[in-house]
Amino acid sequence: MRRYQLFFVLLICGCSSKPVVLNSDYSPQTRGEAVNSECQYVVVSVDDTRNDRDSLGRLGLSDVSSEDIIEWINKAFIHRGYHVGNEAITERTRHALDVSLKLAYIRSSSTSKATNIVLGVHDNEADEVVYYRGTDAGINWYGTAEEIKSSFDAALSKAIDKIDKDLEKDCMKGPERSQ
């Protein structure tokens, strides 16, 4: 009988629904390639254009939200070698980017989790907005705040990797770009 009582207590405690609020620190597990120093990239602005700006989804029974998601994204770009803010634009600036957060969420199903980030990027030299998706999927071990934060950092890193790759192609063309 005691085993069943202990099992019941563990089951109840393991299914608690404590909300998780992520801080704005950006600390990826791996350091992505820094952007090419020959070309200066500036993130002029970051906007959160999601329909529900208060929620980052749900992992198990825990609602996930963020303290300051814009600051987190800015820190990620700085970490990768981008300059941030209008005042960073100089004559060396090759790309001035306006970034919009379109999607940011985590989902779970039984023992797995998936995190998605979608950034819309408008380059001052282009007419259209290009969308970049970063994802992170894996086993949902414990559903801790650290595990959730690590998954969001990894997904954002992958989205920025794709932005880097596109900008690097343009940088390699030299000062005279073809449109």
Contacts of 125 (CB under 8 A, 6+ apart): 95, 177, 179
Where residue 63 falls (left for φ over 0; alpha for ψ -120 to 50; beta otherwise) is: beta
| Residue-level pLDDT at 14 | 47
| Residue-level pLDDT at 149 | 95
What are the start-end ranges of the H helices in the chain?
A: 2-14, 69-79, 145-172
| Residue-level pLDDT at 9 | 43
pLDDT tens-digit series, residues 103-134: 999 999 888 999 999 999 999 888 899 999 99
Which one is predicted more confidently, 175 or 138? 138
Spans of all domains in the chain: 40-172
pLDDT tens-digit series, residues 135-163: 999 998 888 899 999 999 999 999 999 99
Radius of gyration, alpha carbons of the chain: 19
pLDDT tens-digit series, residues 48-83: 999 999 999 999 889 999 999 999 999 999 999 899
| CATH architecture of the domain with residue range 40-172 | 2-Layer Sandwich (3.30)
pLDDT tens-digit series, residues 23-49: 999 988 765 555 556 778 899 999 999
**Residue with the two structure tokens 């790309």:** 95
Contacts of 139 (CB under 8 A, 6+ apart): 111, 112, 113
